[in-house]
Structure formats: C-alpha cells, structure tokens
Amino acid sequence: MPRWYLIPTRILLLTFLSTLMAFAVSLLLGILGILITAHIQGQHPNMAAAYRHVALPVAAVVAAFALVAMTIVEIRNYRQTKALAAVAKASR
C-alpha cells in the first residue's frame, strides 16, 4: 500500500525545486535583458531590477502553478498506486 504521509513532502520538495529552477533561469534571462538594454541605451545597468521585476515575479507564478500541478500529479499517482495494490491483493 502507498504511504499517504509522503505526499505532502514530495509536493513541497518538487515545488521548491521547480521554483528554484525557474528563479535561476529567469534571473539569468533578466540579467541578460538588462545588460542588453543598458548597452543599447548607453546607461549603467541596474542589476537589482533583474531580481525585483523579473526573477521574483516569475518564480512566484511558477511556485503557484507548480504547487497546484504537483498536488494533482501526486494525488493521481497515490490513487493509481492504491488501486493497483488493491487489484494485486485481490488477485492473490
């Protein structure tokens, strides 16, 4: 039988990892965009804007989406594993 108490742990872990990955990628793209924009305009780049206006909002949206998606996936996986365990038990 599947263990239901591991579901919240897996959900939070996968949500954290996907949020961290989204933050890193969006920060990289934000820094590149700010560097290109500053170079074109001939100004000094404001790197703090990459955190505040790009990476943090993207990470927040990804965290919310990942939390919902991981919850759906893990509950579906739990139900499927539980059903398969019941079928295996009944076939013995």
Summarize pLDDT for 14-69 with one digit per residue, the tens: 999 999 999 999 999 999 999 999 999 999 999 999 899 999 999 999 999 999 99
Return the structure tokens found at 8: 């919240």
Gyration radius (Cα) of the chain, Å: 21
* Residue of 92 and 22 predicted with greater confidence: 22
pTM comes to: 0.83
Sole residue written with tokens 């919310």: 64
Residues 81 and 6: beta-carbon distance below 8 Å? no
Range 65-85 burial, b when 16+ CB lie within 10 A, else e: ebbeebbeebeeebeeeeeee
